[in-house]
Structure 1
Amino acid sequence: MHPAELSSATQDYLKTIWRLGEWEPERVTTTSLAARMGLAASTVSEALKKLTAQGLVTRPAYGVVELTEQGRAVAVHMVRRHRILEMFLATELGYTWDEVHDEAEVLEHAVTDRFIDGLDAKLGHPRTDPHGDTIPSPDGAVTPPPAVPLPDVAGPAHARVARVSDEDPETLRVLSRAGIGPGSVLRVSGERTDPGTVRVHVVPRAGQRGRGVVVDDAVREAAQDTDLGILVAEAVWVHRVDGPR
């Protein structure tokens, strides 16, 4: 089944179900799906009945939602479209990383596969989007890098940012002001001034403008220890490194 045979709403449901389980292997439920989509649980429940009848999802237990093989194929197809569009918006049109999501949400339903393949080629076949999330290959393969939420890193240690959740635009703006984005190296302190914060230091590196994350040299050079609120820190996924590189 090609996504074009389905409504935009159906495409969004399938994509959101897949994304809910992409980084955190927790069971997707009607409640969590409703919360992510900003809809009433009753509305989501009715939609899931239709998706089940179409063979796109299964309901193995009360409240639990799982994609069928066919449903996953559609979801990953839409995720690929979305993330390639985000990269195009960020690298070619100057959108910042907190702006690309909403624009891509609209465009992904309107463009053709040929258009997406053309963008992919023009961009040099990027492997990740502006937030560091893996762009699925044309055959649907997805291999996310090993990473853990920043608060799970016991300091003192150095960690490189692998990806940042794009769920909240304000969180992205906070992190941009702090000089934190995919590729940033952080020195994670073992100290916490407050149980609800994580203290990090952004290791200075050459300024860059790319993937919609704009942090100038002055910000990087002036970087000091920064206390990130726990909700902001949980949006940052990292892997440990031996030291600044």
Structure 2
Amino acid sequence: MADITHLLEQLNGPQREAVEENSRPLLVLAGAGSGKTRVITTKIAYAIESLGVPPWQILAVTFTNKAASEMKERVVDMLDGRADAQDVVIRTFHSFGAWLLRRFGHEIGLEPNFTIYDDEDSLSLLASCYPNHKRADLKPVMRAISYAKDCGLGPHDRNLPLQGGDSMKSMFARYEERLAEVGNVDFADLIGRSIELLRRSESTRQWCHRRFTMILVDEYQDTNAAQFSLLKELVGPASFV
């Protein structure tokens, strides 16, 4: 059993207020090293011990595997021996996307054993579409495609931020077609295809809304457009963010 009183006493006034506020969406603004991550982990422990939120209904997302691992260790330590402490879902955005797609991706035509392409895999796939192009010439194309996906855009979006006009859009479209043909995803797709899944599959979206009643985001200011869209799809009418 966690000693919540002791955990709260270690916080300053604004930190404690952020931990105990659970009636509305909350944004914590503070400088580097001011304890934002500590607030998140304490808030998770507080929600479980004081509010009775089941650990498995809490989702926390961050940007690096190291940060996710450290947050999980802190939460488990704070909960001091609770058998279900490991049930809190703490992942990077992309790791969460992979988890969601392997579980429900069949709803949008993805097999659960899909391969996740890294930068070199993605470049090789693009090169296979354009064998007469040098790989070096295709690298900026691949970077532009990845950037567009991070902006939440596809090859047919009107506001596509790609230089090269119709030629670049055509290459983007062909790359996406080839990726679908082989049944795999690139790194950016872990977010983009998850958004597609939640928008197209009502059952999956409702499952997520029931499953995750509390969602916390570490370093929220660093989210890109696609990650923000994913969060919007995950938040249900009864979710606390």
TM-score, structure 1 normalization = 0.26
Larger radius of gyration: 2
Which protein has the bigger helix share? 2
Higher RCO structure (Cα 8 Å, ≥6 apart): 2
Which protein has the bigger strand share? 1
TM-score, structure 2 normalization = 0.26
